[in-house]
Chains A and B, each alone.
Chain A
């Protein structure tokens, strides 16, 4: 079956512009996660959606970052007024309901802020 997909694959934007990154999870997966991978760094948790529960936003680095998940499926990560330090690969993952199920990752979106 289809895996997690993300679009766009690459995004170049100018400082101060807003960007939207999209994630399509595996069908039937109720949990969805966003992570950020900066150059030479490990992955940093951003936000976690589980079913209809309130999302865990504890990893969002500033109020310029927001995410939503529509219909329990597709998710959009929005970064407003982008800064150069936002340049990174943004990875999305999904998993079946339940705490200890494997997270399946998408290929990521590489964001470059000029």
Chain B
């Protein structure tokens, strides 16, 4: 069975600084996708970044980047130049060809002014 673990329930960072959120997963699959979703207080889940397992290059979207270590089954999210609007709950998720996303427990990120 596939599992996703986020070991940091809560984190905080000062505005403009960099923060890294951790995620590990367990799978025997070779082809899969990994995602980071953001859930602000509005409850709307928003896709932040995605990584295809067959790609060695780490995905980057503006201030968001990942460190994908396939052998270690690690998928961390780095947020650079943190902004107040980044305050939210962040979920790491695993996807393979069954159609459903497997989510971690989430990390609540507070960006402080």
A residues bordering B, Cβ < 8 Å?
31, 33, 35, 41-45, 48, 50, 56, 59, 89, 91, 93, 99-100, 102-108, 110
Contact = CB atoms under 8 A, between A and B. Distances in A.
By DSSP majority rule, is chain A's interface helix, strand, loop, or mixed?
A: strand
Contacts, number: 54
A48 B100 contact: yes
B47 A99 contact: no
Contacts of B106: 42
Interface of B: 4, 6, 33, 37, 42-47, 50, 52, 91, 93, 95-106
Listed from nearest, the 5 A-B pairs whose CB atoms lie closest are A105-B45, A42-B103, A43-B103, A45-B100, A42-B105
B100 A59 contact: yes
B45 A100 contact: no
A74 B33 CA distance: 27
